[in-house]
Amino acid sequence: MSDVKIGVIGGSGLYKIEGLEDVEEIKLNTPFGDPSDNFIVGTLEGQRVAFLPRHGRHHAISPTELNSHANIWGMKKLGVKYIIAVNACGSLREDIAPRHIVVPDQLVDRTRSRDLTFYEGGVVVHMGVADPYEPALAEMVYQGVQETGAPVHLGGDFVIIEGPRFSTKAESRIFRSWGCSIIGMTSIPEAFLAREAEIAYATMAHVTDYDVWHEEEGPVSVEAVIANLNANVDIAKQAIRNIVVKLAGEPDWPSHHALANAIISSRIRQDVPADTWEKLGLFIGEYYS
C-alpha cells in the first residue's frame, strides 16, 4: 500500500474511475469509524491511485453525515500525499455558468455542527490555513481541466454551508455580497483535515446551478444538479488522468510539512494518552520523541 501517493475523492456523480489497472478493493477500519466506502486502488497513467466515493458508491451518505475524519485518515494510511477532490457546487457569479469548473483558492466556513479537527485528547495543534488549498496542486488541477477544453476558472472563494438543504434567497444574496464565487456542502472539514494530515489538497468544483439568486434561472433542484453533473463526468475523469500525469515527480510542497510548527503541546511520546496516540500517531509520529 505504501506506493499509493495520489488520492481522488469523488463527489456527487463521480462514483468510479474507468481505466484503472491492477485494481484492488481495500476495506479500512479507522480509529474514527468507517470511511464512506472501501478504497479502490489501481494504476492510472503509471501511478498508483486510491479512489473513494465521498457519499458512498450508492450516494447514501448526506453532507451532514460524512465521516471526513475516517476518509482522510484512510487516505493517509494508504500513503497518499496528494488529494484531488471533486465537488458539485452552485455558482454565485454571473460569469461562472452551470457546467463550468472552478478550482477555488479560498474557503468560507458556514457549517454549524461538524467536528473540524483531528487534534484533541492531549494534542493541541493550531494549523495555519491562510491558503486552505495547496496552491501548486490547484494550479495542476486547473491545467488538467484546461487540457480537456472545458471552461474553467482558477481562484475563487468557496462558501460551505451545513446542508443538506439548499440556501434561502436571503442567504444566497448575503454570500454574493461577501464576494463568494461558489457554494457547496462538503469541502469542510475535508480540506482542513487533509492539511492536518499533511496531505496536499485541491478541489475541482463542478458548477451545477446558480443557487437561488439568479432572477432568470429557476431555483436549484436535484434534477438540475444531476443533469449537469452527468454532463461533466467525462470531463472530470479525463482531467483526473491529466493531473495524475503531472504528479509523477512527487513534488514536495508546504502542505507536506504543515505540522512542523503547528504542534503547541508537549512533543514527548509518553505525554500523549494511549487512546489519543492510536488516533493521531499516524500523523504526528515523526515529530515526537
Average predicted confidence (pLDDT) for the chain: 95
Please identify which of the residues 105, 109, 211, 252 carries the catalytic annotation: 211
Q: Grade residue 46 by pLDDT with cuts at 50, 70 and 90.
A: very high
109 is catalytic: no
Catalytic residue among 34, 131, 209, 234: 209
d(CA 178, CA 166): 18
pLDDT of residue 15: 63
| Whether the Cβ atoms of residue 200 and residue 139 lie closer than 8 Å to each other | no
Task: Judge contact between 38 and 161, C-beta under 8 A.
Answer: no
Give tens-digit pLDDT for 1-17. 458 999 999 976 676 78
Q: Which of 117-121, 229-233, 277-281, 285-289 has the lowest mean pLDDT?
A: 229-233
Q: What is the pTM of this model?
A: 0.95
CA distance 31 to 153: 38
Asked if 209 is an active-site residue, the reply is yes
Residue 260 in 3-state DSSP? coil
- Map out the domains of the chain with their CATH numbers: 88-287 (3.40.50.1580)
